[in-house]
Amino acid sequence: MNSTGFFTFVGRELRRFLSLYNQTIIPGLLTTVLYIVVFGKSLGSRIGDIKGIDYMSYIIPGLAMMNVITNAYSNSAASLFQAKLMRFLDDILITPLSGLEISMGYILGGAVRGLLNGALVLLVGLLLTDMSLAHPFLGLVFLLVVGWAFGAAGLLVGIFAKTWDNIQLLVNFFLMPLVFLGGVFYSIDMLPPVWRSISLFNPLYYMINGLRYSVLDVADSSPWWSLFISVSAAVLFTLIGAFLFARGYRIKD
């Protein structure tokens, strides 16, 4: 393994998003504060408690997971696509880094950005609500595993993407609907039986459910099943993304 090369590349990925903090960190935090104020303060008092948790605290883990998913995905997809589009990916491909190392670097960059954004949202929640962390280690695992899964999904989309629209299309028409229907703002136990059953087919529901259990100690279904689904998604996306990248699919002529 080219460990110096690998860590240099991971460092490059981290520096890229940290230097663009006004695009990669601040917007997520600002949106979260708005959600807390608009949904939590104005609607929360009318909705009341859910499973014994005040509404404002109840939505925080879902908002955190929404940030993890969108940020991890956007980071690796945008970083790879930009390098392809501007043709500076060649500067990395000619080095003694293997395709596997480069793909892991992109995924790790996405996972760290997702983790950081998720953790900051939880921090905002801790500061603005009465929330406390019930299972902090498990929460960290969920943030990291889901960040990794969507960092890998972003890599996959970055490989296939031909335009910026391809990347944004998936966020608008796939990720965001699944996140919102995954119980960010409600418990699926509040839904009619048919819709509750349909929600159980949404993998993002399990990720939100797992983090909600880790933070608030309440869950609509088993947190361990949630962890299994999250790890499975991470493994699946990583295997496909790394395999395609290592083969040079849409990367090398």
Residues that bind another protein (CB under 8 A): 2-5, 7-9, 11-12, 15-16, 19-20, 83, 86-88, 90-98, 248, 252-253
By the 8 A CB rule, do 122 and 139 touch? yes
Q: DSSP secondary-structure letter at 202? A: -
Q: How many CB atoms lie within 10 A of CB 204?
A: 28
Helix H, strand E, coil C: the string for 2-16 is CHHHHHHHHHHHHHH
To the nearest whole angstrom, how small is the minimum distance from the Cβ of residue 23 to another protein? 12
Structure tokens at 26: 């601040």
To the nearest whole angstrom, how small is the minimum distance from the Cβ of residue 240 to another protein? 20
Q: Please, which residue, 61 or 109, has the CB nearer to another protein?
A: 109
Q: Please, which residue, 5 or 203, has the CB nearer to another protein?
A: 5
By the 8 A CB rule, do 63 and 35 touch? yes
Q: Please, which residue, 46 or 87, has the CB nearer to another protein?
A: 87
Q: How many CB atoms lie within 10 A of CB 239?
A: 11
Q: Which residues pair with 50 in a beta bridge?
A: 53
To the nearest whole angstrom, how small is the minimum distance from the Cβ of residue 69 to another protein? 24
Q: Please, which residue, 11 or 136, has the CB nearer to another protein?
A: 11
Listed in sequence order, the residues at least 6 apart from 40 whose beta carbon sits closer than 8 Å to its beta carbon are: 55, 56, 59, 129
By the 8 A CB rule, do 64 and 125 touch? yes
By the 8 A CB rule, do 124 and 33 touch? yes
Q: Please, which residue, 138 or 251, has the CB nearer to another protein?
A: 251
Q: Please, which residue, 98 or 202, has the CB nearer to another protein?
A: 98
To the nearest whole angstrom, how small is the minimum distance from the Cβ of residue 215 to another protein? 34
To the nearest whole angstrom, how small is the minimum distance from the Cβ of residue 157 to another protein? 20
To the nearest whole angstrom, how small is the minimum distance from the Cβ of residue 73 to another protein? 19
